[in-house]
Amino acid sequence: MNDRPVHIIDATLREGMQAANGAFTTEQSVEVARCLIACGVDMVECGHPAIGHHEQLRVAAVVEASGAVPVLAHARANNNDVDAVAKTGADWVGIFLGVNEISLNSRLPGYSRDDVHRKIDESVGYARQLGLRVRFTVEDSSRTDFGLLVETYTRAIKAGADRIGIADTVGVLEPGRAGELVRRLVASGLDAEIEVHLHDDRGLALANALAAIDAGATWISTSVNGLGERAGIVDLGALLANLDHRGTRTCANGQRLRDLSRRVGAYSRSAPDDRRPVVGKNVFRHVSKLHLMAVDRDPASYEWIAPELFGAERVIGGDGLPKAPAEWIVKPPVVSATELRHHRAGPGDRFVLVDERFVAGADQYCIARRIPELDSYGAGHVDGHVHHCDSLFVFLGTQENYQGLEVDVHLGEESFRVQSPASVFIPAGVRHSYQVVAGSGTYLNHVLAGDYNSSLLDPPSFGSRD
């Protein structure tokens, strides 16, 4: 087993941007970067600045927020891309180039080996001239001839690369092959640290990462919830938990991982499922009667690691829906909005149609507010807030065809005057509120969570240790 320190470079803010819905705003990127650093990552990978000016500004903001923790940004093997990285203030550039026939035919048709060598020499050398440190990655490494890999890495190191990256771009490796590839590269005498970037198309990314570590890799590329292209890459939380369990690397601030998972899940609209290792809702839940009796005597009987290490609680029993259909019917009570954070008493009566208090396990929250016509509706009773899940506003007026209600709706940095009938879809992670302006009618709010207050996503707090 490799006894060298294992470092983590988290690519949520680069690889995660390539996932469906994975478009982090600058504000969200800064927040996630600070949370990653609080969780102990050694380097933050953010963006591809050559995409455009907005992307450069996003990466620059992350660089500023990351302080002493280095930031790496992506670049193709050309000087324009490298220039764009340098303008952000990033410490490192991750230059990538595919050199096998598949990569060359799809990206650089007609290029010769001499052309490839020239691109490596020029881009890596130029990056070093600009004061950037360089990670050089052969795209699709796992399907590239080993001799060609060594030749390419050797050339990149000679040009000034500090670290080489192995990319299992389509996730074809198995642990045995992953370990063998790293071992052979270590034995080849390359004078650079080895990083692995492993996709999870076959569900083997974490196992491949552990095998690569055992074989001599010292940097692992991760993302929160494994977010990334297709099936994603190595999950940060799962890797940290496994390294801690192995005694390889202490998970110093595991309590933050669950919040970070929830936050990234909201911003990417790709929440981790309940069975997600380490951060899933059910991973420390015990249901079987035999398990319950054993866990009561000794939690280690059915827990591989202590939930407290990750800010989780042991949960006893299931939370399924009531079996009797009669229990799915709710007689809505009138409850003031003061029971909710960010809310005050509003106009008219608020009926709670459903939440987990009335139908356990429904995972739905819905209220209806009957809004009377008033001379003044005041400054509004709802402050801006964010949910970790999608939600919905519905406005129905008392006039014909549900007309007659006018409201201002605030979504992110924008505001809209809305006339009923209307519905407003609010994606997870988007700050929102509303304010009645005129008329009368009914307001419905539906949130995909059984407990409203628990669904709120507040800005993270950072203590002096962070």
For the chain, give the mean pLDDT.
94
- Centroid of chain to Cα 367: 30
pLDDT for the residue numbered 207: 98
106: pLDDT strictly greater than 80: no
pLDDT for the residue numbered 11: 98
pLDDT band at residue 53 under the 50/70/90 scheme: very high
pLDDT for the residue numbered 110: 74
pLDDT for the residue numbered 463: 61
Percent share of the chain, pLDDT over 90: 84
- Alpha-carbon span 104 to 118, nearest angstrom: 14
pLDDT for the residue numbered 315: 86
- Alpha-carbon span 10 to 89, nearest angstrom: 18
Helices H / strands E in the chain, number of each: 12, 18
Number of Cβ within a 10 Å radius of residue 251: 21
- Alpha-carbon span 184 to 433, nearest angstrom: 57
466: pLDDT strictly greater than 70: no
Q: Could you tell me the pTM of the whole model? A: 0.93
Percent share of the chain, pLDDT over 70: 99
| 417: nearest Cα among 434, 440, 402 | 434
12: pLDDT strictly greater than 80: yes
pLDDT for the residue numbered 349: 97
Q: Mark whether 291 is an active-site residue.
A: yes
pLDDT for the residue numbered 1: 61
Backbone phi and psi for residue 277, each to the nearest 5 degrees, phi listed first: -50, 140
Find the range with the poorest average confidence among 273-277, 336-340, 462-466.
Answer: 462-466
464: pLDDT strictly greater than 70: no
| Close Cβ partners of 345 (under 8 Å, ≥ 6 residues apart) | 336, 337, 338, 381
465: pLDDT strictly greater than 70: no
- For residues 365-381, give the mean pLDDT: 95
pLDDT band at residue 111 under the 50/70/90 scheme: confident
Structure tokens at 356: 């987990």
The answer to whether the beta carbons of residues 420 and 391 sit under 8 Å apart is: no
383: pLDDT strictly greater than 50: yes
269 SS3 class: coil
pLDDT for the residue numbered 126: 98
pLDDT for the residue numbered 339: 97
pLDDT for the residue numbered 216: 97
Between these two residues, 124 and 22, which has the higher pLDDT value?
124
pLDDT band at residue 2 under the 50/70/90 scheme: low
363: pLDDT strictly greater than 60: yes
Query: Which domains, ranges and CATH numbers included, belong to the chain?
Result: 7-267 (3.20.20.70), 285-316 (no CATH), 325-453 (2.60.120.10)
Structure tokens at 278: 């380490």
Structure tokens at 206: 């974490």
| 442: nearest Cα among 458, 463, 421, 428 | 421
| 166: nearest Cα among 119, 213, 226 | 213
pLDDT (tens digit per residue) in 247-296: 999 998 888 999 999 999 999 999 999 999 999 889 998 888 889 889 88
Adjacent-strand bridge partners of 134: 93
- Tell me the CA distances in angstroms from 458 to 91, 102, 108, 252, 309, one per residue in order: 30, 46, 46, 23, 22
- For residues 218-227, give the mean pLDDT: 98
Q: ω into residue 421 within 30 of 0, thus cis?
A: yes
pLDDT for the residue numbered 337: 97
Out of 291, 342, 385, 410, the active site residue is 291
Parallel/antiparallel/unpaired status of strands 71-76 and 43-46: parallel
